[in-house]
Amino acid sequence: MSAEPLISVRDLRVGFATEGGLVQAVDGVSFDLAPGEVLAIVGESGSGKSVTAQTIVGLTRSHNARIEGSAQLGGEELIGASERQLQRVRGERIGMVFQDPMTSFNPVYRIGAQIVEAIRAHRKDVSDAQARERAVELLDTVGIPNASQRVDSYPHQFSGGMRQRAMIAMALALEPDVLIADEPTTALDVTVQAQILTLLERLNRERDLATILITHDLGVVAEIADRVLVMHEGKVVERGELDDVFYSPADPYTRSLLGAVVRLDAAPPLRPRREGENLLEVTDLVKHFPVKRGLLVNHEVDRVRAVDGVSFSVRRGETLGLVGESGSGKSTLCRAVLQLLAPDSGSVRFEGREIAGLSRRAMRPLRREMQIVFQDPYASLNPRKRVGQIVAEPLRLQGESSGTELRGAAQELLDRVGLSAEHYDRYPHEFSGGQRQRIGIARALALRPKLIVADEPVSALDVSIRAQILDLLAELQKDFGLTYLFVAHDIGVVRHVSDRIAVMHEGRIVEEGPADQVCERPSDAYTKQLLAAVPIPDPREARARRQTIGSA
């Protein structure tokens, strides 16, 4: 990679003037990018990695932004360039792909029309018909089946993976020299992620495309990056070839980041085998959602088989991990188990007692025995209530205690989950994502439940925070003898915490067994596919695996 750099960034600084003073989002970032090279910019949320990339193409448009430094594209300075100049660069010379392909397409235009728009913005001499033909060709290149028809689909008619392929097709419409991919696979399922990464790698190889890959996921980095830039609080803390950064990181932050990754292939801490009676037994549970349409009276035309005959059991004190991709029915299953949704049929026994079909009233005393922790710690805490009130609410609702007693109990809970008693009077927005998840856990703990259903409890969190929350959950399990039903899409995380794993696919459990067995000797084809798709944050392993797949 000794070619002339295509992009050359020097001492880039981006600050945002806020009421509390200047916030330096990007603080002196420099790097070069050569044609055909994949540069990964790695960092956690708020590290400035996205702002860096957006600033290069002039998309940091906020009025309070203070931008300094230099970013050159083939010798042409982009910082401070005119809007007209930047418009020519965007799309034409630098293509961009964003995180969420659902929201990144305009929902009211057809996919093809949006690609045509990108082409015609730069090539006035190309007719609509020619541009459309080109769009079909591009969609075909990125692997959209039946492209000549799908070109007229609307974004919502595509699956997540297809949308991201289309997004890549659009970014490549004018054969740019540089592709900036900002968390391109973060919103996707792991099997789809593997396909998109393969596609990006292929395009990079075929077109000698210089790629800037922005991600928080070290597994993704190990799969396709040539060089790595690690960012932390706006600064580059580590830079180097892929292997150097992974195997001999110089910076303590990089080391902690690498250490925090929960690896699928690393043997998790040994857990004693749990024997004993079942706390929760689920048999043949079914929950379908009818799709209704009709003239005067709605009748059912189809049904979504969200949970389609699921059986499993969880022993007292054990953790059952439930893995599945989006749409597999795992969240519906959680809700049906807790009777937050009435199941269509099947049985749910808690401590030997049938709870499926119990009335709201009859369920009420049982609610204290089983609690839930939600995925999104931002949406699941009422922003207008104080943290103490949120944590104490279950106690209040169950008529447990009152006044000062409540306050004391809430403060003790906050202390127990690693927050402090002074946090009682604060509001949720004053906390970080990880702290909010601790609040959610404290709330779930308030009634000393026997069973906690954790629905994707760490998937919205940064890697380093993730490990802390998993440790907290493990510690609480030991101290309170909790039983967990741990639901996640990330089989690596699930393996790390679970005694046994159940794999869910299209409303059914396709495989169930001890964690090691499911992860190392899977018997089901879908489980195998799922495991093979998980990126391994280890460049050598990743290369070895690619070669096996390539030669197979």
Partner 1 sequence: MAAFTLRRLGEMVAVLFAVSVLTFLIFNVIPASDPAQSMAGKSATPQLVASITEEWGFDDPLPQQYLTMMGKIFSGDLISYQGQENVVERIVEGIPATFSLCIGAAVIWMFFGILFGYLSAVRAGGLLDKLLTVLAVAGISIPVIWLASVLLYYLAYKTGLFPAQGYVELSEDPVDWAYHLILPWFTVAVTLVGLYSRVLRSNMLDAMNEDYVRTARAKGLGERQVMTRHVLRNSLIPIVTLFGLDFGALIGGSAILTERLFGLDGVGLYAFESIENLDLPPIMAIVLFGAFFVVLFNALVDIAYAYLDPRVKLGSSAR
Phi, psi angles (nearest 5°) of residue 38? -110, 115
Out of 118, 197, 306, 336, name the contact with partner 1 by CB under 8 A.
118
Rounded Cα distance, 171 and 122, in Å? 13
Residue labelled with tokens 């090279």: 37
Positions in 138-167 near partner 1 (CB under 8 A): 154, 156, 167
Out of 248, 298, 382, 523, name the contact with partner 1 by CB under 8 A.
298
Burial state string for 369-378 with b = 16 or more CB within 10 A and e = fewer than 16: ebbbbbbebe
CA triple 526-529-531, angle to 5 deg: 110
Does 59 participate in binding partner 1 (rule CB under 8 A)? yes
Positions in 89-108 near partner 1 (CB under 8 A): 89-92, 95-96, 98, 100, 103-108
Least Å distance, CB 103 to partner 1, is 4
129 or 296: whose CB is closer to partner 1? 296
Does 87 participate in binding partner 1 (rule CB under 8 A)? yes
120 or 305: whose CB is closer to partner 1? 120
User: How many residues lie near partner 1 (CB under 8 A)?
Assistant: 34
Does 184 participate in binding partner 1 (rule CB under 8 A)? no
Does 372 participate in binding partner 1 (rule CB under 8 A)? no
Least Å distance, CB 90 to partner 1, is 4
297 or 552: whose CB is closer to partner 1? 297
Positions in 164-183 near partner 1 (CB under 8 A): 167, 170-171
Report the run of H or E that residue 8 belongs to, with start and end.
Answer: strand 7-18
171 or 373: whose CB is closer to partner 1? 171
Least Å distance, CB 460 to partner 1, is 18
Does 303 participate in binding partner 1 (rule CB under 8 A)? no
Do the beta carbons of residue 366 and residue 355 sit within 8 Å?
yes
Out of 30, 72, 117, 480, name the contact with partner 1 by CB under 8 A.
117
Rounded Cα distance, 200 and 545, in Å? 18
Structure-token pair, residue 536: 């391994």
294 or 383: whose CB is closer to partner 1? 294
Rounded Cα distance, 250 and 252, in Å? 7
312 Cβ neighbours under 8 A, 6+ residues apart = 282, 320, 502, 509, 512
Least Å distance, CB 399 to partner 1, is 39
Out of 122, 271, 396, 508, name the contact with partner 1 by CB under 8 A.
122
Out of 205, 293, 478, 521, name the contact with partner 1 by CB under 8 A.
293
Binding segment for partner 1 (CB under 8 A), chosen from 81-89, 199-207, 396-404, 518-526, is 81-89
Does 121 participate in binding partner 1 (rule CB under 8 A)? yes
Does 552 participate in binding partner 1 (rule CB under 8 A)? no
Least Å distance, CB 108 to partner 1, is 6
Coil, helix or strand for 337? Answer: helix
Phi, psi angles (nearest 5°) of residue 171? -65, -30
Out of 18, 20, 83, 272, name the contact with partner 1 by CB under 8 A.
83
Least Å distance, CB 248 to partner 1, is 36
Tell me the residue ranges of DSSP E strands in 332-491. Answer: 345-350, 353-354, 370-373, 451-455, 483-488
Alpha carbons within 13 A on the beta-carbon side of 520: 9
Least Å distance, CB 98 to partner 1, is 6
Least Å distance, CB 194 to partner 1, is 24
CA 374 to each of CA 166, 192, 279, 463: distance values in angstroms, whole numbers, following the listed order: 32, 24, 21, 18
Binding segment for partner 1 (CB under 8 A), chosen from 8-16, 116-124, 368-376, 510-518, is 116-124
Burial state string for 92-131 with b = 16 or more CB within 10 A and e = fewer than 16: bbbbbbbbbbeebbeeeebbbbbbbbbbbeeeeeeeeeeb
64 or 523: whose CB is closer to partner 1? 64
Out of 19, 20, 75, 295, name the contact with partner 1 by CB under 8 A.
295
Least Å distance, CB 384 to partner 1, is 22
Coil, helix or strand for 30? Answer: strand
Which x/- pattern over 29-58 shows residues binding partner 1 (rule: CB under 8 A)? ----------------------------x-
231 Cβ neighbours under 8 A, 6+ residues apart = 29, 41, 42, 43, 47, 48, 49, 52, 237
Sheet holding 65-73, edge to edge: 21-33, 7-18, 65-73, 76-77
Q: What is the CA radius of gyration of the chain?
A: 25
Out of 10, 66, 88, 407, name the contact with partner 1 by CB under 8 A.
88
Residues pairing with 353 in the sheet: 350
Rounded Cα distance, 321 and 496, in Å? 9
108 or 129: whose CB is closer to partner 1? 108
117 or 226: whose CB is closer to partner 1? 117
Sheet holding 178-182, edge to edge: 94-97, 178-182, 210-215, 38-42, 227-232, 235-241
Binding segment for partner 1 (CB under 8 A), chosen from 215-223, 294-302, 308-316, 345-353, is 294-302
95 or 219: whose CB is closer to partner 1? 95
Binding segment for partner 1 (CB under 8 A), chosen from 8-16, 20-28, 290-298, 318-326, is 290-298
Interface contacts to partner 1, rule CB under 8 A: 57, 59, 83, 87-92, 95-96, 98, 100, 103-108, 117-118, 121-122, 154, 156, 167, 170-171, 292-296, 298
